[in-house]
């Protein structure tokens, strides 16, 4: 059985990061993919699909440091759906489908300028040494 997602799209917002209780990091971002097609009426149409991407560990750190809204990114991962009970509506389940990122690569295009790296106590990466 295979659960593999491969996406190329643009970030819809800057990534959001937070520490995990285990001491690691998680980073989330939204990724827009589009498809163009000709409708039954002969008109060209475009559909955009939004994907929730979640990165853990080193991938999370790199995503938080280098990705920005509008950046074109290639993402490989697996599809996962989580559920939990809505705090505001007890008894109501909420579902979220995500792409759990195994790896990603920044591509050219919109948002080419990476955001400035925040000092991280000597662990800063240089562009040509980023491991992705």
List pLDDT tens digits, range 8-39.
999 999 999 999 998 889 999 999 999 999 98
Angle of CA points 81, 89, 31, to nearest 5°: 35
Domain housing 61:
5-38+46-116
Domain assignment present for 129? no
Question: Please, which residues have CB within 8 angstroms of residue 76's CB and are 6 or more apart in sequence?
Answer: 4, 5, 6, 101, 102, 103, 104
List pLDDT tens digits, range 81-101.
999 888 888 889 899 999 999
Structural domains counted in the chain: 1
Domain assignment present for 122? no
């Amino acid at each position: 059985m295979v659960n593999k997602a491969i996406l190329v799209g643009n970030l819809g917002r800057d990534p959001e990061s937070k520490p995990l209780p285990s001491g690691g990091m998680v980073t989330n971002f939204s990724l827009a993919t589009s498809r163009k097609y000709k409708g039954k009426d002969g008109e060209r149409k475009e559909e955009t699909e939004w994907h929730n991407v979640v990165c853990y560990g080193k991938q999370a750190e790199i995503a938080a440091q280098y990705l920005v809204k509008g950046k074109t990114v290639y993402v490989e991962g697996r599809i996962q759906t989580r559920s939990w009970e809505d705090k505001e509506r007890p008894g109501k389940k909420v579902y979220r489908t995500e792409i759990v990122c195994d790896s990603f690569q920044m591509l050219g295009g919109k948002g080419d300028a990476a955001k400035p790296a925040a000092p991280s106590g000597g662990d800063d990466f240089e562009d040509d040494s980023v491991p992705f």
